[in-house]
Structure 1
Amino acid sequence: MTDGQLVVNLVIILIVFFMAAFFVAAEFALVQTRKSALESVLESGSGNRKKLLRSLKMVQNLNEYLSTTQVGVTLAGIIMGWIGEETIELLIVDALKITPIASSSLHIAGAVLGILLLTYLEVVLTEIVPKNLSIDKPMKMMMAVVTPLHYFHIIFYPFVWLLNVSAGAIIHLMGLRPADESDDVLSQAEILRLSRNAVSGGELDKNDLLYMQRAFDFNDKIAKDIMVDRTSLEVVDITDTVKTVINNYLRKGFSRFPVVANNDKDKILGYVYVYDLIRQAQVDDTIRVSKLLRTIITVPEVTPIQGLLQQMINKKTPIVVALDEYGGTSGIVTDKDIYEELFGVVKDEIDDVSSEYIIKADDGSYRVSGKTTLYDFERFFRTRNRDFDESDSVTIAGYLLENYKVKLNDVITIGQFNLQIVEFNRNYIDWLKVTRHSEEKTVQQPPKV
């Protein structure tokens, strides 16, 4: 081989290397680029619209364009095998002439080393590197390869068509159906798995994943899964007076009560709303609740909660009765029960104080934030302290600082509770340890202000 021919071959090898790398990059870019991602960029109006439309067409006709990349990779491999091996072998043989290897063995050594070197270069430069680039930056690589791939596809379309038809015929003969782009549909589990990966990769907010999981679960649940069971149901009788039900409200805290006949939970006639009761009590609290009865709807306990919510919206009612298979009351469902399936537990005024402020420890004590209001402290521990009513302070920390000269680890007794200051920073009480004290145990109190 002349020096001129050697140079030409080396140039061809470089071109073929680039060509092979291009088609491998195009193949993985096609597979990795999502249709939804292209549609999002198109909707936003950013990027090269012509390239994006071509890319979208390629992704939607994936089999056809993957066949095009395979044709390109195959052509590059044929050319490389035809020219590359001989050229690399010749270069290695020339390099080995300075070694003491016998001339009869030079060609054998050159052939072996040539194959190894060519294989190494092909795998690294034309396979691994472009593959990793396309997997890491699929959209950027897609924009880089789409135009050349488009024209290569036009030039070789007859051959690509023949390959696809031939492959489809063979697959039919095997009793199988050729893959179709429409088959690429993700299940709920796959969507959630991809979303978790997006969260760990920083592309999706953790709360978005949480709401997505709850939305999927939402569609799978029925009224029975979220209802208040009849055994826990607080009802009032149709013969009860407004005054009686208001007293019930003050004890239980519920703003709505199902109304039954003869104290039978299977005979729910409607419900009463505390606003109506209080307004009526200003006029006459001795009348029966039957005069304030609101309509309540009933649904089978197997009703999907999505359909249940739609019925509640249409009927403009915040409460429904779930019936069992025999027509008896199985429980009730409120709008709050449904919202909590999507947004988690939503505490309202009748619920316990937020767990961010009062935390129960394993030893039975409580870790109480100094920001806890005096009212919430009384409400949580079900106690009443007259000194709290007379104090101008709003929080428990403010009350203690107003009335005592406190320091870290001091213990103050209030009623049946010992309050130990466990975190005291910049003259403010951050956290307290609260325990119920025994009457016989005496605690040394700090001096009062």
Structure 2
Amino acid sequence: MNISTGLILFFLILFIASFFVMSEYVLVRIRPSRLDFLISNGNKNAKILKNMTVKLDTYLSATQLGVTITSLALGWLGDPTFKRIFDNLFANFTMPARVSTVLSFLISFIILTAIQVIIGELVPKNIAITKTEQLGLKLARPLNIWYKIMYPLIFILNKTANGISKGLGFQTFSESDDNVSEEELRMIMSESLKSGEINHEEYQYVENVFDFDERMAREIMVPRTEMAVLWAEDSLEDIAATVQKEKYTRYPVVEGDKDNILGTINTKEIFSAYIEAIQTNTADQFDIHHYLRPAVTVIETLPIKELLVKMQKERNQLAILIDEYGGTSGLISIEDIVEEIVGDISDDFQTEEQPDFVKLGENHYRIRARMLIDDVNEVFGLNIEEENVDTIGGWILNEKYDIEVGQEIIQKDVLFKVIQKEKNSIELVDVFINHDGTTLDIEDEE
């Protein structure tokens, strides 16, 4: 075989090798969901490619077999061809035969390896990664033909490899768990955000879903002390005054105290009753008990994902949370749960809420005492741990139950200073990061 024929065959085999390399990367990277969309639009190649992703184990074996055969062929054909080229080149120089033989071998080996790695491996890999879908649809049919031709050999090789793997105590490809973990999904989403594939809002939705799975109802409830309620003895005028002040649609109805909740009412029904009572002059005959609906009552430690399902099944917008002693600890609405994923939802009557934290100066922040400890840890890089309470205000009271406005608690190099307190509940706290531990004056808060 002359040099020209050898070079032509070498680059032809190199092209075939690149085909198998590209096919391997395409099979690993192609998105099955995208193939489903293409199949629904009648793309036949997408259907073939989808079948390959379902039988990924055997089709990857087909590409690896192709890569191995072509690599052996490149070495068998390329080594003598390139060596002959450099033998002819060094024949023009005056040097010992042994030196020219060694140089010819080394240079041909280096060039042959470089060509095979760059053109046969790296370039096809880059093309497959950047043009996965387009390339996959073009390679699907020829790869499928190769698979069918070599299936008997692929079957034998796969069975042998699986037997050896099991003998060594390892799972086979089909037995292994190829599910993506939560941490892997977070990393994928983070990389997609950096590359611009998704925007920040989409990324935040996914993060919220992961956090949603871990939240308990008490972490997002309206606490008992802040619950807007109607009383069983309220008249229509009393109810109208409460609705005008609070501007909610649904209210729990209590009798005696907030531990005795009779049910919930929808003010739309009360409004209709109010109109009818005015028209018929029967306001004194109004009885709130006629409009009561059963309340969803659950323990405060119930995960919100389970509470959401329960509220959906019972078609109720409000849930009453009770503590371990059976007393009312707070309430939660469907809106509160949905906001954990999509963020705050404001209606026409809501005033702008104070944010959980605002920056007042360098290393100086003001936070709401209802801010969750987990969120405080994340925002300020702390490691506060408390099993019995969820909020930073609860943690401060746990540390010093009789703390007053202006008093402080120091956690490592972070100082917490109570700024506002209502009865037994802390409302606002100032946070000083990288604090040296010295006491602050009350005037220092601003």
Pair in the same fold by TM > 0.5: yes
Deviation at 1:311, TM superposition (A): 3.8
Aligned to 1:318: 317
What is the distance in 2 between the residues matched to 1:58 and 1:319?
Answer: 49
How far did residue 214 of structure 1 move? 3.1
2:149 aligned with 1:155, yes or no?
A: yes
Q: For residues 259 and 213 of structure 1, what CA distance do their matches in structure 2 show?
A: 36
Contact 1:239 1:288 in 2 (8 A): no
Match of 2:261 in 1: 268
Which of 292, 295, 306 in structure 2 is aligned with 1:294?
292
Report the Cα distance in structure 1 between the residues aligned to 2:290 and 2:29, rounded to whole angstroms: 63
Letter in 2 for 1:346: I
How far is 1:130 from its partner? 0.4
Equivalent residue, structure 2, for 1:140: 134
Q: Is 2:3 the partner of 1:12?
A: no
- Give me the identity figure in percent: 28
Q: In structure 1, what is the equivalent of residue 331 of structure 2?
A: 332
What residue number does 1:443 align with? none
Partner of 1:173: 167
Match 1:24 to one of 9, 21, 24: 21
1:58 to 43, 52, 59: 52
RMSD: 3.0
Determine the structure 2 residue equivalent to 1:107.
101
Q: Which residue does 2:340 correspond to in 1?
A: 341
Answer with 12-21 or 333-342: which moved more: 333-342
Distance 2:92 2:239 in 1: 108
Q: Secondary structure at the match of 2:237?
A: helix
Q: Judging changes above 3 Å, is the alpha-carbon distance between structure 1 residues 28 and 291 closer, same or farther for their aligned structure 2 residues?
A: closer
**Counterpart-to-counterpart distance in 2, 1:243 and 1:148:** 80
Separation in structure 1 between the aligned mates of residue 144 and residue 268 of structure 2, nearest angstrom: 70
TM-score by length of 2: 0.71
The answer on 1:39 being equivalent to 2:36 is: yes
165 and 310 in structure 1: CA distance in 2 versus 1, 3 angstrom threshold: closer
Counterpart residue identity of residue 102, structure 2: I
Change beyond 3 A, Cα 1:87–1:276: closer
One-letter amino acid of the structure 2 residue matched with residue 130 of structure 1: P
SS in 2 for 1:349: coil
Give the structure 2 partner of residue 183 of structure 1.
177
* Structure 2 CA distance for aligned equivalents of residues 175 and 232 of structure 1: 60
In structure 2, do the counterparts of structure 1 residues 149 and 361 end up closer, same or farther at CA, with 3 Å as the change threshold? closer
Shift of 1:117: 0.8
User: In the alignment, which residue of structure 2 is the partner of 1:122?
Assistant: 116
Evaluate the alpha carbon distance shift between residue 44 and residue 330 of structure 1 in structure 2; reply closer, same or farther with a 3 A threshold: farther
Q: Structure 1 residue 123: deviation in Å?
A: 0.8
TM-superposition CA deviations, 1:278-308 (whole Å, max 9, x none): 5527346556764554223122324443443
Is 1:272–1:289's contact at 8 Å kept on the other side of the alignment? no
CA contact (8 A) 2:304 2:337 kept: yes
Report the alpha carbon displacement of residue 268 of structure 1 after superposing the two structures with TM. 0.9
Mean CA deviation greater in 11-20 or 126-135: 11-20
1:190-339 to structure 2, matched below 5 A, reads 190-262=184-256, 264-277=257-270, 279-280=273-274, 282=278, 283=281, 290-291=288-289, 293-297=291-295, 298-339=297-338
Higher alpha-carbon Rg: 1
Instruction: Classify 1:41/1:196 alpha carbon distance in 2 versus 1 (closer, same or farther; 3 Å).
Output: farther
Stretches of 4+ aligned residues off by more than 6 angstroms: none
Evaluate the alpha carbon distance shift between residue 256 and residue 14 of structure 1 in structure 2; reply closer, same or farther with a 3 A threshold. Answer: closer
Letter matched to residue 328 of structure 2: T
Shift in Å at residue 225 of structure 1?
2.8
Match of 2:72 among 69, 78, 85: 78
Tell me what 1:87 maps to: 81
Q: C-alpha distance in 2, partners of 1:361/1:78?
A: 66
Aligned residues: 354
Is the partner of 1:257 in helix, strand or coil?
strand
Runs (5+) with no aligned partner, structure 2:
362-446
